[in-house]
Chain A
Amino acid sequence: MIEFHGVTKEFADGTLAVDDFDLVIPSRKTTVLVGSSGCGKTTLLRMINRMVDPTSGFVDIDGEDIAQLEPVKLRRRIGYVMQNSGLLPHRKVIDNVATVPLLEGVPKREAHARALELLDTVGLDRSLANRYPSQLSGGQQQRVGVARGLAVDPNILLMDEPFGAVDPIVRADLQQELIRLQQELGKTVVFVTHDIDEAFLLGDQVVILEIGAHIAQKGTPAEILANPANDFVANFIGSGRGKRRLTVDASVTSSGDDLVLVDGAGYAAGVVDAPRGVIARPDSGSKSRSISNKTDQAGDA
Chain B
Amino acid sequence: MNLLFAAFAFIFDPANLLGERGILPRLVDHLLYTGLGLAVAFVIGIPLGLLIGHTGKGRNFVIAVTSSFRAIPTFGLLLFIILFTGLGLWPLVVVLAILAVPPLLAGAYSGLESVNRDTVDAARAIGMTEWQILFSVEIPLALPLILGGVRSATLQVIATATIAGYVGLTGLGRFLIEGLALHNYTIALAGAILVAALALAADGLLALVQKLVVPRGVSRGLTRSRSIRPKKPTGFRVMAMAPTKEG
Contacts and interface: CB of A to CB of B under 8 A. Distances in A.
A92 B215 CA distance: 11
A58 B125 CA distance: 19
A134 B217 contact: yes
Nearest to A104: B127
A46 to B, nearest CB: 8
Interface of B is mostly: helix
**Residue with the highest number of chain A CB atoms closer than 10 Å, among B121, B122, B128:** B122
Given A73-B127, A132-B223, A134-B223, A89 B218 contact: yes
A168 interface: no
A135 B141 contact: no
**Residue with the highest number of chain B CB atoms closer than 10 Å, among A51, A80, A86:** A86
Given A90-B141, A90-B215, A75 B125 contact: yes
Given A82-B118, A133-B217, A90 B227 contact: no
Interface of A: 46, 49, 51, 72-76, 80, 82, 84-92, 99-100, 103, 132-135, 148-149
A134 B220 contact: yes
22 contacts: A72-B127, A72-B129, A76-B127, A80-B122, A82-B118, A82-B122, A86-B118, A86-B119, A86-B121, A86-B125, A87-B122, A88-B123, A89-B217, A89-B218, A90-B215, A91-B217, A92-B217, A99-B126, A132-B217, A134-B220, A134-B223, A148-B126
Contacts of B223: 132, 134-135
Contacts of A73: 127
Interface residues of B, number: 25
Nearest to A148: B126
B140 interface: yes
Nearest to A89: B217
A102 to B, nearest CB: 10
Nearest to A83: B118
Contacts of B123: 86, 88
B231 interface: no
A49 B125 contact: yes
Given A72-B129, A103-B132, A132-B223, 16 more contacts: A72-B127, A74-B127, A75-B126, A75-B127, A80-B122, A80-B126, A82-B122, A86-B118, A86-B121, A88-B123, A89-B119, A90-B216, A90-B218, A133-B217, A134-B223, A149-B126
